[in-house]
């Protein structure tokens, strides 16, 4: 592996490096986003993404209105479309698919059924719901783009965090996300050589910067500064790098959240391999959400970006050095005391034996066996439970 000089605590690489993805967790969240995004939701830089979401925010206007004052009418041009007459807005407002569902939810009407009704009949039902709406007020988000569109309708206490605010917070630490800082769109794992290559062209196929009319999702890594956290059984360095992803919806389709972690590789399908130290925070869009974003989420992102990997490396080192089992009886007792069945205990021990060429002895051995066993589970709840036990064990070792 070739290194070039860097101002960071770790040296920067200028070529691919070998990784061992049999360790840690596999996380598919980014891959799910990658599979589901059409080309027009994929962006090649943070600058391009920011411009898109900021432009749509600039066209939008949020208002709180009395629900009884909102009038529903079938469009004269298209009898299958509904429009809303909203106080203070001269033109009819056209609900999007998303905001129509929100409106139905607010008045207690089933959105799927309402969409099947002729527009005049659906309008009558919605009008009745608005007139009898107990909360009395609704908050609308209207945008003009050729026509006046209702992007969102929520309760009056909805605390909007704009998508561009999250992107701007990321840009403060990551620049344009293409390599002008240490944080960038990730490279790619070569399955033939088991080497992670940080230097992959950013295209619509490889980008991890996404935005739709409902949300944003961003995933960035520092994969040009791998961290050595000990040695593999054959003496090679066990290399990690840092990563984070974050998401938001200014129209209320999801919370705001940030997840940070260490990982060993990202494959072509944008699965995360060999993940350790996963941490996540989320903020609901409640009344004081904007303040919580300013005082919690944004500083947490900056803190992770600027933090030293030393505590993480020390934790891994402590777990490797702490021997907790020297005999088969010790190994079985150690796992059974932590709630594993006899069958699970045998499988975890066998997994370590196959992957490491020896039975587990240290805390780290058992953690790796648990996470590898978790990957074999078909049900997510079971996987999460096993991974949670592994994480708790590792944290106690540190």
Residue 6 has pLDDT above 80, yes or no: no
Mean pLDDT of 259-277: 93
Q: Output the pLDDT for position 397.
A: 65
DSSP 197: E
Are 371 and 386 in contact, with CB atoms under 8 Å apart? yes
Q: Map out the domains of the chain as residue ranges.
A: 3-55+161-308, 60-144, 317-397
Give me the pLDDT at residue 10, please: 66
Q: Say which DSSP state 39 is in.
A: G
Q: How many CA atoms lie within 13 A of 5 on its CB side?
A: 1
pLDDT for res 94: 87
- pLDDT surpasses 60 at 1: no
What integer is the mean pLDDT of 67-90? 77
- Give strand ranges (E) for the chain: 3-4, 12-13, 17-18, 25-27, 42-43, 60-66, 71-74, 82-85, 94-95, 137-144, 148-154, 188-190, 195-197, 209-211, 216-231, 237-248, 256-263, 265-266, 272-283
State mean pLDDT over 323-333. 88
Instruction: Give yes or no for residue 289 having a pLDDT over 70.
Output: yes
The answer to whether residue 79 scores a pLDDT higher than 90 is no
Task: Work out the pLDDT band at 395, boundaries 50, 70, 90.
Answer: confident
Average pLDDT over residues 180-207: 95
Q: Point out which residues pair with 104 in neighbouring strands.
A: none
Per-residue pLDDT at 117: 85
The tens digit of pLDDT for each residue in 360-384 reads: 888 888 888 888 787 777 777 777 7
Q: What is the pLDDT of residues 96-117, one digit of tens each?
A: 899 999 988 888 888 888 888 8
Q: What is the pLDDT of residues 222-263, one digit of tens each?
A: 999 999 887 777 788 889 999 999 999 999 988 999 999 999
Task: For 16-64, write each residue's pLDDT tens digit.
Answer: 999 998 888 889 999 999 999 999 999 999 999 999 999 999 999 988 9
Lowest mean pLDDT of 32-41, 178-187, 324-333, name the range.
Answer: 324-333
In this prediction, residue 266 has a pLDDT band, given cuts at 50, 70 and 90, of very high
Q: Which two tokens stand for residue 62?
A: 């949020």
- pLDDT at residue 76 in the model: 54
Strand, coil or helix: 231: strand
pLDDT at 3 over 60: no
- When the pLDDT of each residue in the chain is averaged and rounded to a whole number, the result is 86
Given a contact cutoff of 8 angstroms between Cβ atoms, the answer to whether 89 and 96 are in contact is no
Where residue 281 falls among pLDDT bands split at 50, 70, 90? confident
Q: Which carries the bigger pLDDT value, residue 304 or residue 151?
A: 151
Eight-class DSSP state of 305: H
Q: Tell me how far CA of residue 159 lies from CA of 88, 112, 283, 292, 353, in angstroms.
A: 22, 27, 10, 10, 52
């Amino acid at each position: 592996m070739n290194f070039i000089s860097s101002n960071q605590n770790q040296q920067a690489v200028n070529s691919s490096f070998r990784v061992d993805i049999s360790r840690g967790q596999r996380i598919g969240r980014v891959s799910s986003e990658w599979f589901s995004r059409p080309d027009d939701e994929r962006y090649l830089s943070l600058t391009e993404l920011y411009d898109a979401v900021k432009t749509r925010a600039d066209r939008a206007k949020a208002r709180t209105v009395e629900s009884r004052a909102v009038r529903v009418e079938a469009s004269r041009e298209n009898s299958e479309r509904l429009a809303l007459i909203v106080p203070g807005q001269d033109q009819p407002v056209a609900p999007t698919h998303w905001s129509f569902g929100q409106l139905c939810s607010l008045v207690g009407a089933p959105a799927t059924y309402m969409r099947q009704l002729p527009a005049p009949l659906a309008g009558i039902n919605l009008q009745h719901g608005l007139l009898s709406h107990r909360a009395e007020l609704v908050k609308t988000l209207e945008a003009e783009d050729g026509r006046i569109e209702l992007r969102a309708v929520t309760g009056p206490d909805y605390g909007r965090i704009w998508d561009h605010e999250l992107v701007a917070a990321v840009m403060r630490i990551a620049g344009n996300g293409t390599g002008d800082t240490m944080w960038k769109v990730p490279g790619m794992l070569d399955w033939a050589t088991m080497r992670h290559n940080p230097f992959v062209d950013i295209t619509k196929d490889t980008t991890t910067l996404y935005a739709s009319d409902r949300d944003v999702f961003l995933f960035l890594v520092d994969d040009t500064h791998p961290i050595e956290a000990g040695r593999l059984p054959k003496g090679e360095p066990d290399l990690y790098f840092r990563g984070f992803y974050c998401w938001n919806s200014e129209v209320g389709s999801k919370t705001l959240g940030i997840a940070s972690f260490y990982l060993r590789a990202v494959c072509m399908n944008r699965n995360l391999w060999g993940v350790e130290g996963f941490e996540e925070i989320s903020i609901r869009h409640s009344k004081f959400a904007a303040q919580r974003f300013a005082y919690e989420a944004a500083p947490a992102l900056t803190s992770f970006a600027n933090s030293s990997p030393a505590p993480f490396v020390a934790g891994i080192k402590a777990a490797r050095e702490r021997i907790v089992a020297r005999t088969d009886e010790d190994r079985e007792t150690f796992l059974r005391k932590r709630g594993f069945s006899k069958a699970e205990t045998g499988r975890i021990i066998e997994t370590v034996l196959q992957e490491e060429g020896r039975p587990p002895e240290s805390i780290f051995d058992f953690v790796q066996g648990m996470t590898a066993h978790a990957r074999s589970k078909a049900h997510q709840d079971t996987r999460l439970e096993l991974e949670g036990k592994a994480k708790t064990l590792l944290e106690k070792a540190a």
